[in-house]
Structure 1
Amino acid sequence: MQKKITGIILAGGKGERAGGALPKQFILLNRKPLLLYSLEKFQANPLITDIVVVTLKKYISKVEALVKNNNIKKCCEIIEGGETRQESSFLGVGNAPSDTEYVVIHDSARPFVTHKMIEDTITAAIAIGSATTAIEETNTIARSSSSGLMEEVLERKYISIIQTPQAFRYDIIIEAHLLAKADAKSDFTDDAGLVLHYEHSERPIKIVAGHESNIKITNQLDFELAECILKNISK
């Protein structure tokens, strides 16, 4: 029997640094809204049974049209996001179908997610409870003081650059969100960090391979890079 796995696509950012008239998730990349890349990938993935989209209130109707016009049949909820990424994620998880066993949380600003990334995080989450994609750091990383002085060079072999998708057993992620809410903490920038904070020793998080092309689009330069990646993918 197929497991109930809900994809939570976060598309609630204002995208002000992208410099467009619309939030970045609706800016066109090769004539296609950025959000649609993630929607199509999650729709096509056989392990994903449902999709919840979290977006800005004023753009809910726009997402509804995007879903309808592109035959995204797995989309069961389109909801308003919160003031922070953490709150939007909590709302997305909380609005997953009641029989959801696992969730896969993904930022719509990462249009080049692959089926392998989705499936690898799900496989790892089924095995140990939580998983995130990440890539190795190739630069030298230093920790600095509040006055801007270099204090310590960190070992690269222990540094990972976290990406999405991230997958979790439902009870683990909802419990971590509820604990953060009880603590009035709202500054977690990703769900793996949230789970790590509250469940560190008892519930480890597996790191699976992401990819350098799985970029997070933030500004105009990122859109130009995305165009180059898209051309290479299309070859």
Structure 2
Amino acid sequence: MTGFVSFVGAGPGDPELLTLKALARLEAADVVLFDDLASGPILDRVRPGTTLVNVGKRAGRQSPSQAEVNRQLMDHAAKGGRVVRLKSGDSGIFGRLEEEIEALRIAGIGFEIIPGVSSASAAAAAAGIPLTRRALSRRVQFITGHGATGALPNDLNMAALADSEATTVVFMPKRTFPELAARLVAAGLPPQTRALLAENVGRADQRLTRNSIAGLADALAGGVGSAPALILYGPILEEA
């Protein structure tokens, strides 16, 4: 009998932000394959005896390849159990969800996707701001700060990213934001545009730093640290 896989969005790290469905799947799981950023107190919700497998990938650290993660996912499901693939935030946003889904489809293994609270939403809530505002910021856009090579992607739509009437959220931004900020200014976005660096969102050591895009770029050029982070910028921060 083939097992079943639940892709569970763990949210940004605060277990109180788990959905009821996510919590139910964690409590019923036989195996949980988890990311580094979806560990800690989230795993305290797993029942005793559940097999826990760390398949997290972090920049600059030795990590399992995506092919290895896919293989482990299929191997555990093939044993017939209830498998949870626990991903941080919402697994459908820069979580490489599509690659794991495709592997399961090819293997004929059933799955479901349980959305989680995105770190973008959690960061905005922690800062006390919405992501949109009527007549000020009618559009939200999510981008990743690095491509497959770790560098800033070359095919970014700079006209859209320099839109002064949009809220932009940059995931995994710290190493490449100085370059992105320079390109934004060159595309016409004022360097004084307000920005927010949100680190360790939803955790006890959460840190929010407000600055301009130019100021954040200068700060990050001097060192980025290892804390997971995202950056928001746009007119909505003018009111914060």
Q: Which has the higher contact order (CA 8 A, sep 6+)?
A: 1
Rg comparison, structure with higher value: 2
TM-score by length of 1: 0.31
More helix by share: 1
